[in-house]
Structure 1
Amino acid sequence: MAAHRPSLILILAVLFACGALLTSHSVEAKPVQPKTALRKRTARNTAPAGALVVSKSPSSGQFSTVQAAVNALPNDGSEQTIFIESGTYDEQVYIDRSGMLTIMGETADTSNYESNVVTISNSLSATAAGSDDLSGTLRVHKDDFALYNVNVKNTFGQGSQALALSAYGTNHGYYGSGFYSYQDTVLAEQGAQFYGYCYIEGAVDFIFGQHGFAFFQRTTIASIGPGAITADGPASKTDGLFVINESTIEQSSAATEDLTGLVFLGRPWTEFATASPSSVFTPCSVAYTSCTLGSVINSAGWEEWSSTEPNTEDVTFAEYDNGGPGSEGTRASFATKITSNADYTAAAVLGSDWTSWVDQGYVDQ
């Protein structure tokens, strides 16, 4: 009888093979999610496991400043998270650590910027700092970065460029965050960058850059004074593109005057437009698609860089399917209304792999 009984080794081998098949099947059936994917519209009151904690309360957090937490990160390419508890942190933050870094602000509602209770604030002009980048309240000089529900402010005011965000890197995601300044609020300088359900406030050239490919999704863009919203300055016809999609353009509640007709969608920092990916449509360096344009927008839509240096010879700005009072009027000669946005989707702007690093919870409601 013993000769006909299966050996223990054979039984274990069969069980191991079955387990391997089941495991393989379950992995294949499960969709791959971006590493930074979070559940939108839920509170984030406590730090995720393993995160470095920044707090105004000495008994609560490991660090009292954001920069101290950044400095404590290992520079070994590993994935790291910083969680910031409620409060205003008066400091300038510089980030250059390697590896994926996610910074999360405490909030009662992650869906957009409206419930944000974390602010990083600084007051520094580019004149005093020595350059636009050096004036930034938050300076991100790295690839693979995500920011959730943090307000970033440069409170310098009028008189000089003064950045809230200076973003040098690719695969940057900004979610439910607010950026506040007067001139040159957000510098999207290089790489692929996504801004979802954010708030951006300023007056002059307050979304600008030269080599960045940035997509702004369902973002509120609010003017606090007269001027152009965007100033894109590509160095060639294949360098740099901003697309603002399904967003709202309005007057900031902090504006001290009526801005009706005093705001422009953009002006050309350089004389180049960026060729669309398929070269089907007219090249452009900035496009507004399916946006609601408030009465602050001038009927010409776009303006020259200056009377002595218009920079309009090789530049075209595009609009598609916009609504609101600011979408009406005779546009400037270097602007066009396109009949399709196929070349200005997130995939076209950010690259075919964009879903692997953009949190899809901030693409649509």
Structure 2
Amino acid sequence: MQPFNFFLHSSLLVLVLFMSTKADNQVKQIKHAGSKTIIVDQSGHGDFTKIQNAIDFIPSNNQVWTLVRVKAGTYNEQVNIPRDKPRILLQGESSRSTIIQFGYGGDSIKSSTFSLFAEDFVAMDITFKNTYNLEPGKPTTWAPAALINADKASFYRCGFVSVQDTLTDSRGRHYFENCYIEGAVDFIWGNGRSMYQGCMINVTVSGGQAGYITAQARETAADNSGFVFKNCSIFGTGPAYLGRAYRPYARVLFHGTKMSDVIVPEGWSAWNYVGKENTIVYAEVDCEGPGADKYKRVSWEKNLSPEDLRYLLNPDTFINQEAWIQRQPKA
């Protein structure tokens, strides 16, 4: 994505309020036959003090689930899970108290605080944060909090915090439930095939220039990728578009979502594909709130057929083939 220069007003208070749920009050107990557990604790009372050291310790191509339990704390490190480390469950004590952060910007891939390349992954109760654009005087540029470049990844009660390109939803099937996502520019972007269920989306634009929540990158009509947001909530400082087309067949659906007045009346931007909007699939169904008023929406926003709507809204048809979500360990 291209850099977009304006300064972020941090919304840590909103993050704290949202993440303060009953799920945060206890460490989740994960039970899975044959599983292993590794403890990461900054105080030295676990197996490792660094998360990356715990990941490196896991054998390549392991056949059983490994629980990496991360004790509360702020872990200042980049974490990379390579392709040969599948079946990892990364769990913090809560998304308020367990934070992985790093301050690296300028590259939409290499700058990511957390990078996932291995299939079959679960994260719970943890926040991924890139502090680069949050530092005073730093120009806004690519600074992902997380890069998800693998199939069958799910995230429960997690936080993703940055300004530009916060969540690189790059490739594969992904499920996000009750997560918090904060940013200003293209902060949910990529060619993932993903469902966001009950997530909080905080738009932290400042300076008057509009931001963009999504920048989906579907390449062709046969490409099965897309972002589906179900029963989510959008709020913040705004103003912002729901999305701009990063590729010519970009596909995004908001369903049953509460939208504050941070959403601009037009709703969507064709960006580099002005005049080719017929291939872009942007839709809103049963949304509410002042930002959901479609009276001044772009004329090329799509009205999905009942068949297309059922396909996109049903996890089993859109992302959950082989029932991989049910087979993963969870709280």
Residues 174, 161 of structure 1: alpha-carbon distance in 2 compared, 3 angstrom cutoff: same
Displacement of 1:233 in angstroms is 1.1
Extract unaligned runs of 5+ from structure 1.
Answer: 1-38, 108-112, 252-257, 274-284
Match of 2:229 in 1: 244
- The AA in structure 1 aligned to 2:254 is Y
8 Å CA contact 2:24–2:125 kept in 1: the answer is no
Match of 1:74 in 2: 59
Residue 279 of structure 2: SS of its match in structure 1?
A: coil
- The AA in structure 2 aligned to 1:176 is R
Extract unaligned runs of 5+ from structure 2.
Answer: 1-21, 134-138
- Say which of 51, 68, 72 aligns to 2:37: 51
- Say which of 297, 313, 327 aligns to 1:331: 297
Residues 47, 316 of structure 1: alpha-carbon distance in 2 compared, 3 angstrom cutoff: closer
Residues 165, 331 of structure 1: alpha-carbon distance in 2 compared, 3 angstrom cutoff: same
- Say which of 157, 161, 171 aligns to 2:152: 171
- Say which of 242, 248, 251 aligns to 1:271: 248
Map 1:250-269; keep pairs closer than 5 Å.
250-251=235-236, 258-259=237-238, 262-269=239-246
1:99 and 2:75 aligned = no
8 Å CA contact 1:47–1:83 kept in 2: the answer is no
- Say which of 217, 221, 227 aligns to 2:211: 227
Q: 1-side partners of 2:256 and 2:301: how far apart?
A: 16
CA displacement 1:87-114 (0-9 Å, x = unmatched): 000000000143311001013xxxxx5x
Residues 304, 217 of structure 1: alpha-carbon distance in 2 compared, 3 angstrom cutoff: same
- The AA in structure 1 aligned to 2:26 is A
Match of 1:154 in 2: 130
Q: Give the structure-1-normalised TM-score.
A: 0.74
Match of 2:174 in 1: 193
Q: Give the structure-2-normalised TM-score.
A: 0.81
CA displacement 1:160-201 (0-9 Å, x = unmatched): 111001001111001100000000000111110000000000
8 Å CA contact 1:320–1:339 kept in 2: the answer is no
Q: 1-side partners of 2:30 and 2:109: how far apart?
A: 30
Q: 1-side partners of 2:172 and 2:75: how far apart?
A: 28
- The AA in structure 1 aligned to 2:97 is V
Match of 1:135 in 2: 111
Match of 1:117 in 2: 97
Match of 2:188 in 1: 207
CA displacement 1:249-305 (0-9 Å, x = unmatched): 110xxxxxx43xx211101011124xxxxxxxxxxx000011111110111111231
CA displacement 1:14-53 (0-9 Å, x = unmatched): xxxxxxxxxxxxxxxxxxxxxxxxx967721789784111
1:292 and 2:258 aligned = yes
- Say which of 132, 135, 145 aligns to 2:121: 145
1:356 and 2:326 aligned = yes
Residues 65, 249 of structure 1: alpha-carbon distance in 2 compared, 3 angstrom cutoff: same
Structure of higher CA gyration radius: 1
Q: 2-side partners of 1:40 and 1:61: how far apart?
A: 23
- The AA in structure 2 aligned to 1:229 is I
- The AA in structure 1 aligned to 2:301 is A
8 Å CA contact 1:268–1:311 kept in 2: the answer is no
Q: 1-side partners of 2:330 and 2:41: how far apart?
A: 29
Q: Which consecutive aligned stretches of 4+ in structure 1 deviate over 2 angstroms post-superposition?
A: 39-42, 45-50, 308-313, 336-341, 351-361
Residue 186 of structure 2: SS of its match in structure 1?
A: coil
- The AA in structure 1 aligned to 2:203 is S
Answer with 352-361 or 332-341: which moved more: 352-361
Residues 272, 62 of structure 1: alpha-carbon distance in 2 compared, 3 angstrom cutoff: same
- The AA in structure 1 aligned to 2:172 is G
8 Å CA contact 2:232–2:256 kept in 1: the answer is yes
Residues 63, 87 of structure 1: alpha-carbon distance in 2 compared, 3 angstrom cutoff: same
Q: 1-side partners of 2:40 and 2:227: how far apart?
A: 33
Residue 231 of structure 1: SS of its match in structure 2?
A: strand
- The AA in structure 2 aligned to 1:95 is I
